[in-house]
Every structure is written in C-alpha cells, then in structure tokens.
C-alpha cells in the first residue's frame, strides 16, 4: 500500500447447498376460495398403489407440488399485483368522477377491490406468520421490525457449524450426516 489509504478487505463466501427448502403452509391460503379446489383435485386425481403409508406420502408429495405452483400463480409477485390493481382502481375512480361508470365497470371495480383486499390481507398474514409476532395483530405495521424478527428467527434456527469430538463441522453434508446419525443413535430401539 504505497499511496493508497485503503485497507485490504478479505471476504470469504461459502455457497453451500443445504438441499431443497422445506415446504411451508401459509395460513392465508385457507381464506382463498381456490385453495380447497386445488387440494381436492390433486388428492382425487393422484392414483398410487402400495402400502397406505406410501400412498399417503406420494399424495402429499404431489399435493405439495400443486400447492407450490398454485401459490406462485395466485400470490407470486404480490407487490406488483397490488400496484397494478391500485392503478386500475385509480383509473376507474377518475372515470367515475368525470363521466360515470357502466354496470360492467362497476362490477370490475368491485372485483378489483375484492382482489386487492385479499392480496393485502394475505401479505399481512404471511408477514405475521413469518415473524410470529403479536405486534401486527395489535395494529403496528412497522415492517422493518417484522423483517428483523424474520431474519432473527432464521439466524437462530440455522445450524452453520457443529462441534463434534472437539472439532468443528462446517460443510452442510457433514452437519446433516452428524445430525442424522445422532438421532438414529438416539431413537434406535434397545434390544
């Protein structure tokens, strides 16, 4: 560092593959009228042969896939959908003030409001479920706080390294293997 006043910074980045993300059930799905239809159609259309436990596992696996696709279609890009609906409502409101609205336009406006209300409630419900906080229920919409709660829970629940017999395991594969072997030893039947 001859003339520069900058200090050298070393950055270590490990992009570990922890495997597939676990499936999360979102409580706000229950309020959507299309949810029950997706569940019934997927469950009824899945034909699997084998033991009852295997059949249930396979049906749940296919249901999980269907729900992920449905969730992406209905709730994907929620902020963009909210903005689009708000703009559509605003256009109809301006037209209502200037010219008036036809029956079709009044129906569309009501439909837009209903869909907007559903998306806003779903977004709040999802944030509340992620943060597991009572503040949202009590009326505080401090999103920075909720994001901090979500990040804090994620950090507290993650296992980034594990100490075994005096040495540290840091690779995801090693950590998974040690956890599985620990619980396998713990739950093995005593003969």
* Nearest alpha carbon to residue 124 among 31, 35, 23: 31
Token pair for residue 139?
Answer: 């009326």
The CA dihedral of 131, 135, 138, 141, to the nearest 10 degrees, is -90
Decide: helix, strand or coil at residue 167.
strand
Contact 70, 38 (CB under 8 A): yes
Tell me the pLDDT tens digit for each residue of 133-185: 555 555 555 667 777 777 888 877 777 788 888 888 888 888 888 888 888 88
Tell me what pLDDT residue 37 has. 93
Cα 92 from Cα 109, distance rounded (Å): 7
pLDDT tens for each residue of 88-127: 888 888 888 888 878 888 888 889 988 888 888 888 877 7
Residue pLDDT, tens place only, 42-78: 999 988 888 988 999 899 999 999 998 998 888 888 8
pLDDT the model gives residue 42? 92
**CB-count burial class (<10 Å; 0-12, 13-18, 19+) for 8:** exposed
Domain positions in the chain = 160-190
């Amino acid at each position: 560092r001859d003339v520069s006043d900058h200090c050298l910074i070393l950055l270590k980045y490990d992009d570990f593959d922890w495997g597939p993300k676990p499936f999360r059930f979102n409580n706000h799905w229950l309020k959507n009228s299309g949810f029950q239809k997706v569940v019934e159609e997927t469950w009824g259309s899945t034909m699997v042969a084998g033991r009852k436990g295997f059949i249930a596992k396979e049906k749940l696996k296919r249901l999980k896939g269907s729900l992920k696709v449905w969730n992406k279609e209905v709730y994907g890009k929620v902020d963009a959908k909210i903005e689009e609906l708000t703009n559509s409502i605003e256009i109809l409101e301006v037209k209502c003030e200037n010219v008036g609205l036809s029956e079709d336009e009044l129906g569309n406006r009501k439909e837009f409001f209903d869909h907007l209300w559903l998306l806003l409630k779903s977004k709040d419900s999802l944030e509340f479920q992620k943060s597991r906080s009572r503040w949202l229920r009590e009326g505080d919409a401090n999103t920075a706080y909720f994001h901090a709660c979500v990040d804090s829970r994620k950090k507290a629940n993650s296992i980034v390294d594990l100490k075994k017999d005096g040495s540290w395991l840091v690779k995801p594969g090693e950590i998974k293997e040690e956890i599985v072997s620990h619980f396998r030893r713990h739950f093995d039947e005593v003969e």
